[in-house]
Structure 1
Amino acid sequence: MKTTFKKQRGILLVLMSLFLITACQDENEAVTVEEEAISDQLAQRSAEIDLISDDIGLIVDDASQEFESAPSFLPSCVTISTEVSGGFSQLTLDFGDGCQLPNGNIVSGIIMMSQDVNAELASRVIQVTFNNFTRNGVLVDGTRSVTRVLSNENGNPQSTAEVDMQVTWPNGATYTRQATRVREWIEGVNTGTWTDNVFSITGNGTTTGPLGNTHSANITTPLRREAVCAFIVSGVVELSRNNNTGTLAYGDGSCDGEATWTGPNGNTITIILD
């Protein structure tokens, strides 16, 4: 009886050990797959958040020129309300239930801006908030503080934005972006039309996904954004997490709506931008 019991207990211990080993292997495999999936997914989302952030930058830069008599990028479907008090202008940009930007992207809701009305200032600070604002169906919330100078060291207008925003996709997935974005207006300044406007974007920041995983991002090659195109057309962003690094390359200047993501494992995929 004792011998039989010992054998049974031994068999039970072996089975439990095998179960634990298998469970740990499965868990490790699941974590590895999840991390790989998150890396690719975050690259996709990071690219999309870049575009969302930059369209907001285009809108804010354009609206801030209200007192500078520059040609407007803003479409006729936006309602602009202005209230001036104490030397500050409170601008409300209401895009209604849907308004198409000249580059083809659809925005809705409200962007609110506060800035100094003195057009003679070489530098001004613009505070930006949102009210049920969406771009291509993605909800945007948070704040943006923009310092705009009329002439940087290259003689070009430039905006430096401190961004703290949350973006929520229709499926409920929410990403948080905290970043510094510097937008230099490098082509089309004072030409009398917005269609030849080109911007060079630099900066860095972090993006936190729905599971709480955070990636850092650093623009290693300036991003090129042409006002007539719905997408970033060139430039490279380096994404890093847990000592793993990948690169997001936006192309060779073509307005093709594609980017190339090279993950930490060296695998490369094409990302379709939206």
Structure 2
Amino acid sequence: MKTTSSIFRVFLFLATLSFLGSCDKDSDPTITEPDLSAVEESLEVMQITEDMDYFTLTVLQSIGVNGRILNDPFEKICAGVSVDINDDQKIITIDFGDGCTSPSGIVRKGKITITYNQNFLFPGATVTTNFIGYEVNGLQVSGVRTLVNQAIDLVNNQITLKVSMENGQVTWPDNTFVTYNTDQERVVKLGASGYEISITGTANGQSREGFPYSSTVSSDLIVKQDCVETGVLIPTAGLMELNYRGFQLTIDYGQGSCDKTILITYPGGTKEITVD
């Protein structure tokens, strides 16, 4: 009888442990949402970059082989912008002055200089962009951005560009800043209704809080001119992986809709946000 009682007590003890373990497992807290500040900062940088590409391509497409302006589309960049093309020195100066506002509400100020060795439609063409007191919506931009025409496909009317940003920096009004370097390939398809850009590549840098980050495009990012002109300065499709503070985040830009909604997936959850 004593032996049976002992066995019963052991069984009851093990059953109790099992029950408590089950309850503890069921009550595990949800994994805390990771720091998404780097995502927001990378989106700010991306919007500045796509805005820059928009008016850079607008200017470059307006120049003939001999440096003559074939058309004058600059008012759609912003009213009052000054574009000076010196084909002898192969330098273009885009001067936004003390500030001008685009039709989509983007405020730019300062200057950008574009140095080129030949018409950018020719393979081997190199276009280098420098910034002089340049700001977008109050954010200061510095660094050196280089585009190299690697190939042109006349059948499909597209250009393959090698694009890099060295010593890139975006500074906020409170003097905090993001640094970034990029190594990308951009396939620009030109059409009657505007361009479409397919982007692959990597980026890395430091956040405003001083932490390193890196990102890789895992599914081509798609940027469309008609979306950019309405103020949608982020890709309309594609996936990007972002590594920051021990987390890997996936940023899903959608399936082609011209909107500012993205889906962020992180270990343990997802979050949909709308880009300002």
Give secondary structure in 1 for the equivalent of 2:87. strand
CA contact (8 A) 1:46 1:207 kept: no
- Alpha-carbon distance change, 214 to 152 in structure 1, aligned in 2, over 3 angstroms: farther
Contact 2:85–2:93, Cα closer than 8 Å, also in 1: yes
Shift of 1:173: 2.0
Question: What percentage of aligned pairs have identical amino acids?
Answer: 24
User: Residue type of the partner of 2:260?
Assistant: G
Match of 2:163 in 1: 161
Once the two structures are TM-superposed, the CA of residue 267 in structure 1 deviates from its matched residue by: 2.4
Counterpart of 1:62 (choices 53, 58, 62) is 58
Cα–Cα, structure 1 residues 46 and 83, in superposed 2: closer, same or farther, change >3 Å? same
Larger radius of gyration: 2
Tell me which residue corresponds to 1:125.
126
Structure 1 unaligned residues grouped into runs of 5+: 1-31
Q: Which residue of 2 aligns with 1:185?
A: 188
Question: Which residue of 2 is the match for residue 26 of structure 1?
Answer: none
Q: Partners of 1:257 and 1:211 in 2: how far apart? A: 25
List runs of 5+ in structure 2 lacking aligned partners: 1-30, 65-69
Q: Report matched runs for 1:196-211 at 5 Å.
A: 196-211=194-209
Q: Does the C-alpha gap of structure 1 residues 249 and 70 become closer, same or farther in structure 2, counting only changes over 3 Å?
A: farther
Q: Tell me, in whole angstroms, the C-alpha distance in 1 between the residues paired with 2:202 and 2:120.
A: 30
Figure out how many residues of one structure are paired with residues of the other and give that number. 232
1:82-101 equivalence runs, <5 A: 82-85=85-88, 88-101=89-102
The equivalent residue for 1:51 is 47
Contact kept, 8 Å, 2:118 with 2:126, in 1: the verdict is: no
SS at match of 2:199: strand
* Structure 1 residue 70 displacement after superposition: 7.1
Query: Which residue among 174, 178, 182 is the counterpart of 1:175?
Result: 178
TM-score, normalised with respect to structure 1? 0.74
Compared with structure 1, are the counterparts of its residues 240 and 64 closer, same or farther at alpha carbon in structure 2 (3 Å cutoff)?
A: same
Counterpart of 1:200 in structure 2: which amino acid? S
- Pair 185,118 (structure 1): closer, same or farther in 2 beyond 3 Å: closer
Cα distance change, pair 97–271 in 1 and its aligned pair in 2 (3 A): farther
Query: Aligned pair in 2 of structure 1 residues 160, 41: CA closer, same or farther (>3 Å)?
Result: same
**Cα deviation, residue 103, structure 1:** 4.7
Contact 1:61 1:159 in 2 (8 A): no
Q: Secondary structure at the match of 2:48?
A: helix
TM-score normalised to the size of structure 2?
Answer: 0.74
Match of 2:270 in 1: 268
Deviation, 1:206, is: 0.5
Task: Pick closer, same or farther for the CA change 1:148–1:74 going to 2, 3 Å.
Answer: farther
Deviation at 1:199, TM superposition (A): 1.5
Amino acid at match of 1:157: I
Partner of 2:243: 240
